[in-house]
Structure 1
Amino acid sequence: MALAGPSHTTPPKQNQWTFVGEHDLEPGLFGGEPELKVSEKLKDRLCSPWKKTLVVRLLGRSISYAYLCSQLRWEWRQTGRLDILDLNDRTFLVTFHNDQDFLHALTGGPCTILDHYLVVHQWSPSFRTADKPHKSVVAWIQLPELPVHFYHREVLFALGNLIGRTVKLDYHTENMERGKFARIAVELDMTKPMATRIRLDGFWQPVLYENVPEICFECGRIGHTEESCSKKVCNVPNVSLTTKTHVLPIEGSSPSSESPVGYGPWM
């Protein structure tokens, strides 16, 4: 006999183990100690929610979690949801729910909070909280007066990889809407001197940098000033630095010359 009205039957519970396949987790021993092997398919599923996540490390004294959250939201001005997880007092995971917000935060250049520099890099499955802070920063470089026939996506990616690790091409560069310079976001190694030029098809191509903080005039590295430099390197190429709209003049030298001079206060 059927009864009229809404049903109050409790829906069956879903199997909580459907996420893990039959051979996704394999327990065993490694050198006599317990080990759990995880399949590549399961790792892909586990990592999927973290693909738009940045690791943020604070260099300097720690600040409160609430203050960091407010400052990051103000700095990045995201349009979508933003989740911030504190791992310890200097390391945070920031997960974005919007692709454009994620790329803007990753490639928008370095930022500081209370005069302390933030090291920001993309999360990866190999990340461990106990790891030493990344010595890298994502910044925009410019390749002024690059010959037009080199404005090709694969060529530009290869050029960026000579400077660091190419992260993104500027939209106008990729679509060749502006020909004054090519603009590429790269991950720079803070432990190495900044490249000032690259050799391309037989000629020297100057490299300009945008909004890179704390450049040492002594060794050309990022992350400290000349006063605190522990490496006295004099014979290094010349760096050309830019702001967002203007190239700083270089008096008496050219980054494309055959005999580059050392770094100096003109930076």
Structure 2
Amino acid sequence: MEEIVVLDEDCSVDGSGAIPIIKFSERVQEQIDRSMSKSVIVRLLGRTIGYKALLDRIIALWRPRGELQLVDLENNYYLVKYYCKALFRRIAMVVGKVVKVDYITQAGKRGKFARLAIMVDLNKPLKSCIGIGNFIQKLEYEGLQQICYTSGIYGHSKENCVATSSTT
């Protein structure tokens, strides 16, 4: 998602009333619209239903062409985001060869993560995070018990790292 740029001339504040009112230029409004065009906030009214039931119902009603992610925002509010697997694949290619992009396996985590299966060369240092625009995303590796993020090497812990002991 690209960052919204607000210049001084894009913003006006009216403080003459009881509540200050801020207004943005048409240019900023268009940027906001573009950034939110693939997101919807859903609020459940009346009887609550489970996370999985809500996700299944949204998919049945909307019949999306791509992948949806449902994020529990608490208090019966949910964020529905449309994602393109190609975007995740492109980001993941920085880490290694992409084998699979999977949203469904994380439904138990209430939709806050996408799981990516990526082939990595364990003879090379592993990345602990990745920059996505101005955002830094922490990476987690499943099934690899001993990863030293000081050296990026798999097979030993930070306490036993040669790189750490040589710098002290």
TM-score (norm 1): 0.27
| The structure with more radius of gyration | 1
TM-score (norm 2): 0.40
